Structure 1
Amino acid sequence: MSRALPTIHGVTRRTESDGRVVEELDLEFGNGERRRYHRVVPQGQGAVIVVPMLDKDTVLLVREYAAGVHRYELGLVKGRIDAGETPLQAADRELKEEAGYGARSLTLLRTLTLVPTYMGHQTYVVLARDLYPERLPGDEPEPLDVVPWRLDALHELILREDFSEGRSIAALFIAREWLKGARDADG
């Protein structure tokens, strides 16, 4: 069932003490109900999460310190899209900074949202193939461990305590299915 979007009667913006911009929307739904919703306004261009394929069966993960859970966490290469960059350019830069590889082939698979009922932030899932060694200086305080992982062992990876980030989990399954479809199409 398709519904008409609610009517926005007004938007009020405020900046929180932590720098986030929050909007309050005065909404009227199709049934006449009115509500006030709050949403965090995205800052910047969004982010990328990169699925770097070392070969057709092996993805590269990175291990880095995760302050939110105060431990070292395995995950995919990820980062913010800088001003003037496309998602593919940001993915290639982040890959060079975090994993020490560039990619000759970059494919935008889709976008992911984190909390779409409250935030407009989007993360672009990028598949990186045909890798070659190249390192750029990054903003990490220490070198990241690069860990190869076979796609056919995702069932083991998702059960690890040090692999918990939802975007990494989702991006790996999306890429695995996309790659499977590409292989099936090739015969």
Structure 2
Amino acid sequence: MSRRLPIIHRIVEDDSGPYRVEDLDLEFSNGERRRFQRMHGRGHGAVVVVPMLDADTVLLVREYAAGVHRYELGLVKGRIDAGEAPLQAANRELKEEAGYGAHSLVELRQLTLAPTYMSHATHLVLARDLYPERLPGDEPEPLELVPWKIDALHELILREDFSEGRSIAALFIVREWLRMHG
């Protein structure tokens, strides 16, 4: 069923803090009016990178996660800098966080975090044909590299230290993409 988008009667912006917050005065096709709030992140978006060491092994990183105050296992990820394309950002982040570059980078799709109230999208990038190259990054300590067999995702998703939704979704998407495309 295709629905007409709600009419936006008014937007009130609060441009302070790390997000630009908008209060929306909306009217839906059935005449109901509601107020919704949405957040726009600052910057140019983000990337999450699935680096494949070989056809069967993904490279994970363990880094400190301030939000949950523990070390968390996940994928390489980071912001897209001004003037950077998503694939350039993915290769830069891979070099900074994991000490590898990739000869083959494929953007598979975009992932959203909470599309009901956030505009933020993350570009999912598959990185293959890796080679050693390190760039200085902004991490306060070297990240631990953890190779993981892609056919053992069922074990990975049950670990307490692997909880980030983008990493979980990205690995399942890549696993299915690799099954279809080799």
TM-score (structure 2 length as normaliser): 0.98
Moved over 4 A (4+): none
Distance 1:43 1:15 in 2: 10
Distance 1:154 1:20 in 2: 34
Q: Within 5 A, what are the aligned runs for 1:146-157?
A: 146-157=145-156
In structure 1, what is the equivalent of residue 141 of structure 2? 142
In structure 1, what is the equivalent of residue 4 of structure 2? 4
| Count of aligned pairs | 182
The gaps in structure 2 that reach 5 residues or longer are none
Q: Using the TM superposition, give the Cα deviation of residue 128 of structure 1 relative to its aligned residue in structure 2, in angstroms.
A: 0.2
Distance 2:153 2:19 in 1: 35
Q: Within 5 A, what are the aligned runs for 1:118-133?
A: 118-133=117-132
In structure 2, what is the equivalent of residue 27 of structure 1? 26
TM-score (structure 1 length as normaliser): 0.95
Distance 1:41 1:182 in 2: 34
Q: Using the TM superposition, give the Cα deviation of residue 41 of structure 1 relative to its aligned residue in structure 2, in angstroms.
A: 1.4
Task: Look up the SS of the partner of 2:36 in the other structure.
Answer: strand
Deviations 1:43-97 (A, max 9, x none): 1111000000000000000000011111111000000000000110000000000
Q: Using the TM superposition, give the Cα deviation of residue 15 of structure 1 relative to its aligned residue in structure 2, in angstroms.
A: 2.5
Q: Using the TM superposition, give the Cα deviation of residue 42 of structure 1 relative to its aligned residue in structure 2, in angstroms.
A: 2.3
Distance 2:32 2:116 in 1: 18
CA RMSD of aligned residues (A): 0.8
Q: Tell me whether 1:177 sits opposite 2:176 in the alignment.
A: yes
